[in-house]
Structure 1
C-alpha cells in the first residue's frame, strides 16, 4: 500500500545469542534451522504440562532433541551456544513444517498467548484473524492487544485495536470472532462453552505508543505486547482510564 508494487521478503531469524534460521526458498513462509553453526537446539512441547498460565517453563518440563520433534506441533526453543549461553529460553514458540528439512515457522511467544479455558489462542492466530478482519472491513490496524477477563463466573476476551480509520466495532467483533473460530478449533469449541463474550474497543493508535513511552519502551526495538496479563494489564487499563477520563 505504501510502495505500489510487490516486494520480495527473505525472512531471517536471529538474536543476540545466535543466528537461528533463514528462509531458504523465497516462496515458502517457513525458515530452515541452522544446525551446524555453534548452536545446539532443544525443544520444549508448548503445553500445560510444561508451561504455567503465565508462560513460565515448569521445572518438570520435558525437552526434546531435533530428531524427536513432530511436524505440526508447537515447541518453545531452548538454545546452548559455543559463546556461553546455556539452555537459554529464547521466548519464541515454533512449529515444524518439515522435519526432514528442519523447516519451521514462528507461531508466537511463550508469554503472549491466551488460554483461560482451553482456547489455546496463539499470537499467530491473533495476527492472522486481525489481518483478515481488516481486509474484510477495509481499514488499517496499527496495533492491538488482548486481555483475558472474568465474565459471569466464566471468561471473556477484551480486544483493544489501534486504528486511525473509522470502523464499526460491532462488525469488527463479528468478523474477528468468525475468523478465530475458523483458524482455531479449540477457540471455536470454547466459544460455545466457557468463553462467553468478546469485547472490542477501537482506539487511536497514539494511545498505544503513549503507553509504551510511559513504560520506558519507546522506539523501534520495542513491540507492543499482543497479550497483556497481570501488572501490565492493570497498568494498561489504568492508563486508558486516565487518558480518556477528560473526554
Structure 2
C-alpha cells in the first residue's frame, strides 16, 4: 500500500486533476452528437457535416381579419364610391377612366374643356397617319403580287389597276407604274417601308390613346386636392429674435391650422 501511494501525485495536485476529468466527462456527450467521417449516418448519405441546411416549412399564419375589421374596410371602400355609371358604384377616378375610353369624354367629365383641342388634335393626327400608312401599304402589296405576263408588264398592269386597288389620286398610280418600269424592286422596297411605318404608327397611336386616359384618371384623383391659399400648413419667411442680440435672425415660420 505504501508503494502505491508513492505513485500517486501529491494531494495538492488532486484538485486540477479531478477538474480535468470532470470537464472531459461533461464534453463527451456533446462531442458524440457530431457525426464524423467514420461514424455511420443513420439518415443515409448527404446528411453529414457537408449536407445542405434543411429548410423548414413556414408555419407562421397570417392573422385573419375579424368581422368588425372587414365591415370597417368595406365601409371605407364604399364611402369612396360616390359616382354611378351604368348602375355601378364607382370612385371618381374609375368613372373618369371608363369614360376616357371615348377620347375627350374623360376630360369633359373633369371639366377640363381646354384640353379637348389637344386630345382631338392628337387623335385626329394619329388616325390620319395610320390611315395613310394602311392605304399605301395596300398599294405596294397589290403591286408586289403582280407578275409580268406574255401580254403585259407589271407597270402596264399597275396602269390598268382599278381605283380601289391603286388609287390614281394625285397621280399615285402613274408615278408607281413609272417607278416599277425603271426598277422592279420598287414594290418590294415600298412594301417593307410602309409595313414598318404602319407598325410604328399603330404603336404611337396606342400610346397616345393611353395617355389621354391617364390624364383623365390623374385629373379625377386631384379633383379634391386643395390648392388654395387657405391650406392647413403654411410657411413664410420671418425674422426670429435671438436671445442676447438686438438684431433678429432670418428664419422660416410654419403655421399649422387644425380643422
Q: Tell me if TM exceeds 0.5.
A: no
User: What TM-score bracket applies, with the shorter chain setting the length?
Assistant: under 0.3
Select the structure with the greater relative contact order (CA < 8 A; seq sep ≥ 6). 2
Structure with the larger strand share: 1
Q: TM-score, normalised by structure 2?
A: 0.17
Structure with the larger helix share: 2
